[in-house]
């Protein structure tokens, strides 16, 4: 089958939305399909948004037997056999409209633009033969804002067998892009309140150096240099595998994330407990408090208490790590399931 994988990207920013496309291409090609990966650059500029959206309607992919679309606004592509693996909306026009992350005024111009985006999105999404999402969170948003039903199809990681458990040291690791909405600062602040010997390692490249500088400033201000390590750089796959193999546990505490995030699944494959917060979004579909990790209030003191519990109870950390692996099977997070549904 000739399959076109269509998505968008923000130039010079590497994120999980590219992984899902590239990993799916590899899996489809292993099954003998002819796959083309098609990216269009897109930036969330309100002045150019409609022009960018219109560009998708000009794309002719009639030569493909099937088109699978991912990141917005790739779902605007027209094709008789269009499948969506819908990752998220342009959130500033949807669930983030009344949040500090909107990034533009709540005025008549932007309200009209929001309404137009909703209308165009809904019509394009309804063209699809089938709509999948990466989480219940995103499925709920599609139903709420667009009136569209969808099926959750959890994205696996590539070559999950790479991840393994070698032991348990004294570090909690947080490996992902360093951004304010990923809230690495909450973990750093939590380390002021820990009473045990637990340590924290934050790893990942910051797209905004001012946030990374704020984190290092917090470490210095509160004298946490012997407890907290900040690595503002791209972490290689081999480094990440080693960090997860040896760590005490992992953290993933974004603000209302669309999906559970690859860091959560990678840590689970490595047999490590995961710490998250009650407002972190899709990751709550993976983590059950007290079973395969901790779900706590997004407050430094509550996070610190969970960190201390993992440090103080090696048996608990090991048991939660074992349950983390089992939870992946319970949710049917596998490439065989993904291919079976996308190609049905």
| Structural contact between residues 17 and 87, judged by C-beta atoms closer than 8 angstroms | yes
Please tell me whether residues 141 and 208 are part of one structural domain.
Answer: no
Q: What percent of the chain lies above the pLDDT cut of 70?
A: 99
Q: Which residues form the domain of 11?
A: 2-153
* Per-residue pLDDT at 16: 61
Final residue before a domain boundary, out of 126, 153, 180: 153
Same domain, 251 and 299: yes
Same domain, 192 and 139: no
Quick one: pLDDT band at residue 289, thresholds 50, 70, 90? very high
Measuring CA to CA, how many Å separate 11 from each of 44, 89, 203?
12, 18, 22
Claim to verify: residue 221 and residue 147 sit in the same structural domain: no
User: In Å, what is the CA distance from 45 to each residue of 50, 102, 103, 276, 301?
Assistant: 9, 11, 10, 31, 38
Contact (Cβ atoms closer than 8 angstroms) between residue 237 and residue 305: no
CATH code (residue 93): 3.40.50
Mean pLDDT, residues 144-167 taken together: 96
| 38-66 pLDDT tens trace | 999 888 788 888 998 999 999 999 999 99
CATH of the domain at 322: 3.40.50.2000
Counted domains in the chain: 2
Among 1-10, 186-195, 199-208, 252-261, top mean pLDDT goes to: 186-195
From 74, 96, 49, select the one nearest 255 (Cα to Cα): 96
Asked if 210 and 300 sit in the same domain, the reply is yes
Same-domain status, 14 and 91: yes
pLDDT score for 13 = 66
Specify the range with the lowest mean pLDDT, choosing from 36-45, 105-114, 126-135: 36-45
pLDDT band at 143 (very low <50, low <70, confident <90, very high): very high
Residues 93 and 227 in one domain: no
In a domain, 248, yes or no: yes
> Residue 14's pLDDT is what?
63
The confidence score (pLDDT) of residue 61 equals: 96
- Give tens-digit pLDDT for 201-228: 999 998 788 999 999 999 999 999 999 9
Radius of gyration of the chain, Cα coordinates, nearest whole angstrom: 21
The residue out of 88, 118, 153 marking a domain boundary is: 153
- Residue 316's pLDDT is 97
Co-location of 179 and 122 in the same domain: no
Give SS3 for 341: helix
Whether residue 201 lies inside any domain: the answer is yes
Confirm whether 337 is domain-assigned: no
């Amino acid at each position: 089958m000739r399959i076109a994988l269509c998505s968008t990207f923000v130039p010079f920013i590497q994120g999980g939305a590219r992984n899902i496309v590239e990993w799916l291409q590899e899996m489809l090609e292993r099954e003998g399909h002819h796959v083309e990966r098609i990216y269009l650059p897109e930036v969330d500029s309100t002045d150019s948004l409609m022009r960018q959206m219109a560009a998708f309607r000009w794309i002719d992919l009639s030569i493909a037997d099937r088109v699978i679309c991912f990141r917005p606004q790739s779902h605007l592509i027209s094709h008789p056999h269009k499948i969506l693996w819908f990752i998220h909306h342009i959130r500033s026009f949807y669930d983030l409209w009344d949040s500090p992350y909107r990034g533009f005024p709540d005025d008549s111009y932007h309200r009209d633009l929001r309404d137009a985006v909703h209308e165009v999105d809904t019509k394009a999404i309804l063209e699809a033969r089938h709509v999948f999402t990466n989480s219940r969170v995103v499925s709920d948003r599609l139903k709420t804002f667009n009136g569209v039903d969808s099926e959750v199809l959890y994205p696996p990681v590539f070559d999950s067998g790479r991840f393994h458990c070698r032991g348990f040291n004294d570090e909690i690791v947080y490996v992902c892009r360093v951004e304010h909405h990923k809230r690495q600062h909450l973990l750093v602040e939590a380390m002021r309140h820990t009473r045990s010997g637990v340590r924290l390692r934050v790893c990942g490249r910051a797209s905004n150096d001012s946030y990374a500088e704020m984190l290092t400033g917090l470490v210095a201000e509160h004298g946490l240099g012997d407890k907290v390590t900040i690595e503002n750089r791209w972490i290689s796959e081999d480094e990440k595998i080693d960090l997860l193999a040896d760590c005490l546990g992992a953290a993933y505490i974004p603000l209302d994330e669309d999906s559970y995030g690859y860091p959560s699944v990678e840590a689970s494959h490595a047999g490590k407990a995961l710490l998250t917060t009650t407002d972190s979004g899709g990751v709550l579909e993976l983590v059950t408090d007290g079973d395969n990790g901790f779900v706590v209030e997004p407050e430094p003191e509550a996070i610190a208490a969970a960190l201390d519990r993992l440090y103080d109870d090696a048996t608990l950390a090991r048991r939660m790590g074992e349950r983390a692996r089992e939870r992946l099977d319970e949710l049917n997070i596998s490439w065989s399931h993904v291919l079976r549904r996308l190609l049905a």
